[in-house]
Amino acid sequence: MSDDERTFVMVKPDGVQRGLIGEIVSRFEDRGLKLVGGKFMQIDDDLAHEHYGEHEDKPFFDGLVEFITSGPVFAMVWEGADATRQVRSMVGETDPAESAPGTIRGDFGLDLGRNVIHASDHEDEGANEREIDLFFDEDELLDYERIDAAWLYE
From the list 68, 70, 7, the residue with the least C-alpha distance to 33 is 7
Binders of Mg ion in range 132-151 (CB under 5 A): none
Distance from C-alpha of 33 to C-alpha of 130, rounded to nearest angstrom: 20
Residue 24's nearest CA partner among 3, 6, 14 is 14
Residues lying near ligand GDP in the complex (CB under 6 A) are found at 55, 60, 63-64, 94, 112-113, 115, 118, 121
Q: Answer yes or no: is 60 a known binding residue.
A: yes
- The nearer residue to ligand GDP, 34 or 118, going by C-beta atoms, is 118
Distance of alpha carbon 26 from alpha carbon 8, whole angstroms: 16
Q: Which is nearer to ligand GDP, 39 or 55 (CB)?
A: 55
Catalytic residue among 49, 51, 55, 118: 118
| Binding-site ranges for Mg ion (CB under 5 A) | 121
Active site residues: 118
